[in-house]
Amino acid sequence: MYGDRSRREFLKTAGAATLSAMAGGNQRLIAAEKVEPTADTLILLWMAGGMAQTETFDPKRYTPFETGLESARVLSTFPDIPTKVDGVRLSKGLERIASVMDRCTLVRSYQAGDLGFILHSRHQFHWHTGYAPPQSVACPHIGSWISKILGPKNEKHAGVYRRRPVTRNRRRE
């Protein structure tokens, strides 16, 4: 399989070639021209406790309900619909968002860290701050970082507004 080479020599050569290719690609990224943003405003919709991504912005295969249907066969309970962007589909019920999808950015590449599968709050904290919980100090929110980088749009208004949910145990502020 390796000709006159040993398995160890083959792996050493393959590893060196792979690392060389990866290092060469990084130089192109470093020297790449900076892309200037064109958006005036960024609105992040964080729907904690909302609908699942597989039934909204990342639809899976639709499985119509039938009596005796095994739950393992169900990937989505809504059919998908086209948007204004070729190849991007949303779940039925999001027709108004689909009509303006050419003016949006849909992030489907986020991969959650291994923070456990039970507590959604741990993943929300990680997504909002970039830090794995728990932290002994307050971590800046992603909106704060974006605001710091872009600078103030209007000196009279805060760069970030974060609406906190009203609960029974907390009065409205």
Say yes or no to pLDDT of 85 above 90.
yes
CB 97 within 8 A of CB 90: yes
Say yes or no to pLDDT of 154 above 80.
no
Whole-number pLDDT of residue 83: 94
Whole-number pLDDT of residue 97: 92
List the chain domain ranges. 1-32, 42-109, 113-173
Share the mean pLDDT of the chain: 75
Compute how many other C-beta atoms are within 10 angstroms of the C-beta atom of residue 51.
Answer: 13
Whole-number pLDDT of residue 164: 63
Whole-number pLDDT of residue 40: 72
Alpha carbon distance 79, 92 (integer Å): 6
Whole-number pLDDT of residue 122: 79
Percent of the chain clearing pLDDT 70 (strictly above): 68
Say yes or no to pLDDT of 146 above 80.
no
Average the pLDDT over each of 4-13, 59-68, 90-99 and give the range with the smallest value.
Answer: 4-13
CB 66 within 8 A of CB 100: no
Q: Which of 163, 125, 159 is nearest to 143 (CA)?
A: 159
Whole-number pLDDT of residue 23: 57
Whole-number pLDDT of residue 75: 81
Q: DSSP readout, 146-165?
A: HHHHH--S-TTS-S---PPP
Place of tokens 């390796």: 2
* Token pair of 24 as six digits: 């060469």
pLDDT tens-digit series, residues 29-57: 555 677 677 777 767 777 677 777 777 88
